[in-house]
Amino acid sequence: MKNINKKLQILLLLPLIAMQLNCGSSKNATANSGKVASWITTTDETSKLKKQTDLAFSSETNSNQTIEINPAEKFQTIEGFGFSLTGGSAQAIIKLDKPKREALLQELFSRKNDAIGLSYLRISIGASDLNEKVFSYDDMPEGQTDMNLEHFNLGPDLNDVIPVLKEILAINPKIKIMGSPWSPPVWMKDNGSSKGGSLQPKYYEVYAQYFVKYIQAMKSHGIVIDAITPQNEPLHPGNNPSLLMLAEQQADFIGNHLGPAFAKAKIKTKIIVYDHNCNKPEYPLTILKDPKANPYVTGSAFHLYEGDISALTTVHNAFPDKDLYFTEQYTGTGTNFETDLKWSVKNVVIGSMRNWSKNALSWGLANDENYKPFTPGGCSTCKGALMIDQNQNIKREVGYYIIGHASKFVPEGSVRIASNISGNLYNAAFKTPSGQIVLIVENDGAAPETFNIKYNQQQTTTTLNAGAVATYVW
């Protein structure tokens, strides 16, 4: 009798299950209901990440050039888009009155209303050149060392970077954070200076513990460091602070010291190598070919002040099981909105995505009206995504829109899918975790381009001005 009752219950439930399945499929149909939303930024600045009138898919055909999206062909999973929260950025933001600061951080890091949903931050381990002064987390009087790191502390970061990070994490607890040092403590170096020089091998083990202490100290403040690079721009010892670290030295440091130290301390933070320009793919390849270093390395990071973005694919093809990251590109005072918008969206956002990068980061998030602070000898021409002046006026610079065209629409967990480059229309396409399709397009030509977006045997036609950037969502 009990079995008969169970069968009756199942039979009665079947229509209800079918209704729920149909509801689920209609929900997906709504997400791809034939309407295409779009946001455009133009080089004359009349439209900045501005929502346009919706487009519509149809079965009509024409002879226009066509970008066709193929969601069946999948590439890398995206970890995020964002900036470096430099010490100077944190200083500029923390000086804002609390209501204004809270509103700004919501705009930057939430996914509500008109927010741009930044999902990845890079921070400096110790000072970068966009701090007001040089420091490490274990500075000692000249001639003294601290082999047991008894004097280790987070120093000036406790006043700005850490408080701002805590406010950001309250908005987006899942934001990814990468740490990169510009220099070890001076007493570990062979030239006794914050600028240039090399890490002495006798301090490799101590420096590995320095990273361990850093990750543990940040965790004690509720800040999880998802990844680190052993050195920012290891082939650029002319910055202040900076360090020369050759590929063989980095391989030795990771394979024999940093990797084992992380394993012993049960630290899950990813180790990402290189963190420098696309002109030297042989640098990360040297480390990835090292049998001791390789097991500890998650991937390689790149900048694009020299070289070509295709260097990422060169490394991917040699080591397809290792990830790629794009971690820095600045916009400077010597160029204009049009030039930076076109070049950076084409190369940093679309270029990095089409070459297997899991993220795309621009350089500083914020600075004051004089592009300060920066260290003596640091970058005096680096333009943040935000300029915050002494009267607390906030100007959104070109970097805000470069990254915003991706971060606002492509959340963590999205997957890049196939799309063809058509003429001057550079593009990258994604499928988000909620099932939306996102297409970012930059018209690299000198004239407006009319084109089709084709998806699932239907298409829509639109026009994009010369140099303009658009994000399409359906």
**CA-angle at 137, arms to 132 and 274, nearest 5°:** 85
Q: Could you tell me which of 313, 467, 425, 319 has the C-alpha nearest to residue 64?
A: 425
Catalytic residue among 79, 233, 412, 449: 233
For residue 25, give both structure tokens.
Answer: 């499929």
Separation between Cα atoms, residue 243 and residue 313, nearest integer Å: 27
Integer angstrom CA distances of residue 10 from 1, 4, 13 = 14, 10, 5
Query: What b/e sequence results for 212-230 when a residue is b if at least 16 CB atoms lie within 10 Å of its CB, and e otherwise?
Result: bbbbebbeeeebebbbbbb
Q: Could you tell me which of 201, 157, 200 has the C-alpha nearest to residue 179?
A: 157
Q: For the purposes of burial, counting CB atoms within 10 Å of the CB of 275, is it exposed (0-12), middle (13-18) or buried (19 or more)?
A: buried
Partners of 41 in the β-ladder: 469
Reply yes or no: is the peptide bond before residue 373 cis, omega within 30 of 0: yes
Contacts of 379-383 spanning 24+ positions with Cβ under 8 A: 379/129, 379/130, 379/239, 379/330, 381/332, 381/333, 381/334, 382/130, 382/330, 382/331, 382/332, 382/333, 383/330, 383/331, 383/332, 383/333
Say whether 338 is catalytic: no
Catalytic residue among 328, 412, 442, 449: 328
Say whether 79 is catalytic: no
Residue length, the chain?
A: 474
For the annotated catalytic residues, the residue numbers are 233, 328
